[in-house]
Structure 1
Amino acid sequence: MIPFSLQQLADITSGTLHGSNVTIDSVTTDTRQVEAGALFIALIGERFDAHNFCQQALEKGASAILVSRQLELNVPQVIVEDTHQALGLLAQWMHQQSKAKTLALTGSCGKTTVKEMLTAILKQKGQVLSTAGNFNNDIGVPLTLLRTDMQDDYAVIELGANHQGEIAYTTHLVQPDIALVNNVAAAHLEGFGSLDGVAQAKGEIYQGLLAGGCAVVNLDCYGVHFWEDTLADKTVVTFSVDNTDADFYAKHMQVNQQGAPSFILVSPQGEKAVHLPMIGKHNISNALAAAAMAMQAGASLEEVISGLQMPSQVKGRVEAIDLNERIRVIDDSYNASVPAMKAAADLLANYQGKRWLVLGFMAELGAESQALHKEVGEHAAQYNFDYVLTFGEDTAIISQLCQQTGKTCAKHFSTHDTMIDFIKQHLIQQPDRQAEEKHTLLIKGANSSKMSQVVAALKETYA
């Protein structure tokens, strides 16, 4: 973080300083993360007002507070009209102090994976500021930018959204040199209204590029036509899994028995084989996106290949875990969308032995939820998995459709506990353990479906 004074803060945010002009080198919005000498920013949300926690922040060592009303506390305070907006202004100012080349990305699926791939590539070239965890909303992005260091060579910033205008706001703060919409899918429809609404919202990232900035575009993506006018004065670089008109594409794609893909990366710098250290054929598209962005930032083909092949595992995102010689869990419990659910079924189909598709619901789909869950069920039914288990009201159609094949044991559950009990009853170890087929359980769902509880229970029992 770049240190600043409270008077600088007041100037940046059009606020007023009350008290000493102390220097700040740590900022937090969470009293649990207060460091000695930190600035505590009192945000106001729908269900909380952090002004009520300023005293607690001071007791933990904060040396100043940013508030929207003056408090009767013996501490330097900067008073602003809106602490949320002030957080963004401070973050924007801080990031502008750095000379880092900034790459921003959004999308309905895979953006965290692309971020991790891209970060691994660029770390070979210099110091990289990268989004941590899921800090990708209108609070998380500013907090990421506040980690800016003057020595940063690159910044890789992930932008998420669940309503129109959110990406426009965070892109304005980030001011990227290179931007990507990884894909567009039926996700957060309650906030976006329709798939067209998702495409328009994701395209806000391109509107934040200055004239001549680089837009990396997925030719396989829905909604590209929405962005044509915005992209007219931008440098456009394209990628596609198999469209040879793209600047970056793949050929000779294969998936091994463990589900890990390999392919030939075709790029403007030449062709080279890639062996991804993660499972899922869908990650080929993510790798192409990362390669396109990285090369636009100055990476060589060799650096791209090396970075893509570095192991990088994000918890809850397609993480294969052998609990013992009989039971493998593929933990993909962090999030879910229609293409991601379909990709999960495609991945599971690569495995031998007993195959379990264990699904929680997809969230924030609004009136289209039932139809979209049905779409997933129709896709999964073709594989005749041994077991298809579902949790959540709208997922029942998935197990019903899979049951109709007559080859799948499909069950729907109203609680995690009953689902876990069913799984355990069917995984009882037999005396001759070596002769029994291996069970592979792929577990996926929206974060709010809490399918991680199923993963945790299996780890506790069998690991």
Structure 2
Amino acid sequence: MNAEQFYPYFLQCNKVTIDSRHIAPNDIFFAFSGENFNAATLAVAAREAGALAVIVEQKAYEDLANHIFYTPSTLLFLQDLALLHRKKTDIPVIALTGSNGKTTTKELINAVLSQKFNVQCTTGNLNNHIGVPLTLLSVRKEHEIAVVEMGANHQKEIEHLCALALPDYGYVTNFGKAHLEGFGGFEGVIAGKSELYQHLMAYKKTIFINQSDPVQAEKTSGYVPLVTFGTAASDYHFEAVNTDHFVGLTYEGMTAMSQLTGSYNFSNLSAAAAIGLHFGVGFSQIKTAIESYKPTNMRSQVVVKNGITLVLDTYNANPSSMSESLKNFSTFGGSKTVIMGDMLELGPESEKEHVAILDLAEHMNFNTVITVGKHFKATGKSVLAFDDVMQLRDFLSEHPLQSQNILLKASRGIALERILDVFQS
């Protein structure tokens, strides 16, 4: 069985899934196995739950009569099927990558384009070598445009994802100090993220860039077709607006205020607006989309609980995003407590970067700075340093914070949001 032979089954299915817990009638289940688990053992149960077909990578579990098909690699089969479907999909595909702000920007682009089009976009942060194929396979005949988020922590990963998605348009949010360990330093980050540019240039596709970002401008200098924003000389020029902790933008005399905090989100809003304008979405519709979008994913999210303003940014952290979050939080009026969790995957740069962030926080004169994780603790610079979230949670239960504003910022692996219930009591 190969992807071409299997494609008729795909056209009949409701969706493709790799999660045996959520199989619905007429789904296709890809039985991905781990080191300690053989998902092929779930094949029969998946069929009994209504799955149209199951793909396994253990020959012994194949049962053609029961629509259980063998392949040497479920991953490669999934990717081959996704590429085949992409080639048969005649709609614009926008690819999005970058060090910070990918998911927020993707959600904003989706909100803006959905004012005019039936859009399919990446769910959550399913942006890797499995998530991108699943996104491509979720595109159906009713969709008019697709937005595909691409994540990476090593070079050549974006190149591979582009070869699967074959994007017609692309945007890199920024180049920051994220996944330094995997990319091999900041220059490696630039090289890795620029693989999207290289793919689009090779196929003469359209690139969106923020001309205020010197790396974006340099990497695309002289290229056509290029759609620009960010400076007065750009195709689309926006002015930033900041009110009551929130950021917005103005275009041709009309202002759209978002529910996102942080001036760093201005570029994300601008990208979504520029892409919307390029595809013929009127700014009045863009304004509706931006003002209606409510962050609920622990990214630049502001929540008021029991009179305390909480800034929740616990989904990811690296030196670039941490620095911007601290600078934004420093502008809040009233007493301020910063709770920072470790920044992961920094490799040899880890100690230096954690020290630099602590130095930055110290110079901003926050009322209290609390850290969580072994990397911050190893610096010896933090007065209130905790090994893990549960240790911090116990401390806060006995010593409630009195600050009017609290920032929570950490890498995903720290799971800093687990202390939220402390502020709800």
> What TM-score results when the alignment is normalised by the length of structure 1?
0.83
Q: Root-mean-square deviation (CA), in Å?
A: 2.8
Structure 1 or 2, whichever has the larger Rg, is 1
1:445 to 396, 399, 410: 410
The one-letter code of the counterpart of 1:337 is N
Quickly say closer, same or farther: Cα 1:282–1:47, change in 2 above 3 A. farther
Within-5 A mapping of 1:237-316: 237-240=227-230, 243-251=231-239, 253-257=240-244, 259-265=245-251, 270=252, 272-316=254-298
Q: Aligned residue for 1:42?
A: 31
Q: Aligned residue for 1:431?
A: none
Please give the alpha-carbon distance, in whole angstroms, between the structure 2 residues aligned to 1:59 and 1:425: 51
Please give the alpha-carbon distance, in whole angstroms, between the structure 2 residues aligned to 1:49 and 1:223: 45
Provide the secondary structure at the position in 1 that maps to 2:140: coil
Q: Aligned residue for 1:432?
A: none
Q: Please report how far the alpha carbon of residue 72 of structure 1 lies from its aligned counterpart in structure 2 after TM superposition.
A: 4.1
Within-5 A mapping of 1:59-98: 59-72=48-61, 74=63, 75-98=66-89
Within-5 A mapping of 1:37-436: 37-45=26-34, 48-72=37-61, 74=63, 75-209=66-200, 211-221=203-213, 223-224=215-216, 227-228=219-220, 234-240=224-230, 243-251=231-239, 253-257=240-244, 259-265=245-251, 270=252, 272-325=254-307, 327-396=308-377, 400=381, 410-427=383-400
Contact 1:183 1:222 in 2 (8 A): no
The one-letter code of the counterpart of 2:330 is A
1:9-30 Cα offsets, whole Å, 9 max, x none, are 44368xxx9xx99943332211
1:345-401 Cα offsets, whole Å, 9 max, x none, are 12222222221100101110100011112222232222201110001122237882x
Q: Please report how far the alpha carbon of residue 342 of structure 1 lies from its aligned counterpart in structure 2 after TM superposition.
A: 1.4
Provide the secondary structure at the position in 2 that maps to 1:276: strand
- Tell me how many residue pairs correspond in the alignment: 422
Quickly say closer, same or farther: Cα 1:45–1:199, change in 2 above 3 A. farther
Please give the alpha-carbon distance, in whole angstroms, between the structure 1 residues aligned to 2:176 and 2:197: 17
Contact 1:443 1:455 in 2 (8 A): no
Q: Please report how far the alpha carbon of residue 190 of structure 1 lies from its aligned counterpart in structure 2 after TM superposition.
A: 1.7
* Greater CA drift, 379-388 or 116-125: 379-388
Q: Aligned residue for 1:406?
A: none
Contact 1:67 1:79 in 2 (8 A): yes
Please give the alpha-carbon distance, in whole angstroms, between the structure 1 residues aligned to 2:350 and 2:21: 37
Provide the secondary structure at the position in 2 that maps to 1:344: helix
2:5 to 2, 5, 11: 11
Please give the alpha-carbon distance, in whole angstroms, between the structure 2 residues aligned to 1:91 and 1:182: 25
Contact 1:178 1:214 in 2 (8 A): yes
Please give the alpha-carbon distance, in whole angstroms, between the structure 2 residues aligned to 1:21 and 1:184: 37
Q: Please report how far the alpha carbon of residue 262 of structure 1 lies from its aligned counterpart in structure 2 after TM superposition.
A: 3.4
Quickly say closer, same or farther: Cα 1:297–1:255, change in 2 above 3 A. same
Please give the alpha-carbon distance, in whole angstroms, between the structure 1 residues aligned to 2:149 and 2:67: 33
Contact 1:239 1:246 in 2 (8 A): yes
Q: Aligned residue for 1:29?
A: 18
Please give the alpha-carbon distance, in whole angstroms, between the structure 2 residues aligned to 1:245 and 1:30: 48
The one-letter code of the counterpart of 2:276 is A
Contact 2:337 2:403 in 1 (8 A): no
Quickly say closer, same or farther: Cα 1:27–1:415, change in 2 above 3 A. closer
The one-letter code of the counterpart of 2:28 is L
Quickly say closer, same or farther: Cα 1:65–1:120, change in 2 above 3 A. same
Quickly say closer, same or farther: Cα 1:303–1:399, change in 2 above 3 A. farther
1:35-56 Cα offsets, whole Å, 9 max, x none, are 1233221234455443243234
Please give the alpha-carbon distance, in whole angstroms, between the structure 1 residues aligned to 2:10 and 2:390: 55
Q: Please report how far the alpha carbon of residue 331 of structure 1 lies from its aligned counterpart in structure 2 after TM superposition.
A: 1.5
Contact 1:399 1:411 in 2 (8 A): no
Please give the alpha-carbon distance, in whole angstroms, between the structure 2 residues aligned to 1:168 and 1:82: 21
> What TM-score results when the alignment is normalised by the length of structure 2?
0.90
Quickly say closer, same or farther: Cα 1:220–1:337, change in 2 above 3 A. farther
Contact 2:61 2:70 in 1 (8 A): no
The one-letter code of the counterpart of 1:214 is T
* Greater CA drift, 70-79 or 129-138: 70-79
Question: Percent of aligned positions with the same letter in both sequences?
Answer: 29
The one-letter code of the counterpart of 1:236 is L
1:116-174 Cα offsets, whole Å, 9 max, x none, are 11111111102110111111111011111111120111111111111122211222222
Please give the alpha-carbon distance, in whole angstroms, between the structure 1 residues aligned to 2:387 and 2:271: 38
Unaligned runs of 5+ in 2: none
Quickly say closer, same or farther: Cα 1:365–1:356, change in 2 above 3 A. same
Contact 1:80 1:86 in 2 (8 A): yes
